[in-house]
Structure 1
């Protein structure tokens, strides 16, 4: 996956890729192609399953209400806070 928005998954992928590159410089070229084609394939699958065809513009954003944006935001922010700033949730 593309590990977006930034979360624990993105951190894990960055650490894994940097470790493999440190292990062998040959992995740098291999990982570049793997990451690139993985991102392209993920975008293609998302576009095809959510829009029914390859990306055809921004027409689908007109149908989204403010309620959906708020719901997405209220799930995304606490998740990233729990991962990136864990001391907020620790009460001693």
Structure 2
């Protein structure tokens, strides 16, 4: 789910960023530099938040693997599956374009 926040394929954020960037570039060509920098820094910030939340402030480089509960995996699946269905069936979201 964290990679979906970075606009990594397949994600709803990737689809929305492509549509948003196309519309803003067609409006003003000079905004492409600002948009590319803001997309890059938002990806870097998402990676930073992910690594900080998963490894903590000081990474001890010890391998620890937590066996998740069944309800945690179900919750992950129930968030991930509809998100990917929306991406794979993106034409339903693009009817207004």
User: Which TM-score band (shorter chain)?
Assistant: 0.5 to 0.7
| Distance in 1 of aligned mates of 2:61 and 2:15 | 31
Count of aligned residue pairs for this structure pair: 82
TM-score between both structures, scaled by the size of structure 1: 0.62
Q: Could you tell me how far 1:29 is from its partner in structure 2? A: 0.6
Q: Which runs of 5+ in 1 are unaligned?
A: 87-92
Change (3 A) 1:58 1:18: farther
Runs of 4+ in structure 1 displaced over 4 angstroms?
54-58, 64-68
Equivalent residues of 1:47, 1:53 under 8 A apart: no
TM-score between both structures, scaled by the size of structure 2: 0.60
In the alignment, which of 11, 28, 37 is matched to residue 15 of structure 2? 11
Give me the CA root mean square deviation.
3.2
Match of 2:30 in 1: 26
Change (3 A) 1:80 1:26: same
Bigger fraction of residues in helix: 1
Q: Which has the higher contact order (CA 8 A, sep 6+)?
A: 2
Change (3 A) 1:19 1:85: closer
Q: Which runs of 5+ in 2 are unaligned?
A: 91-97
Q: Pairwise mapping of residues 54-73 of structure 1 onto structure 2 (< 5 A)?
A: 59-60=63-64, 63-65=65-67, 71=74, 72=76
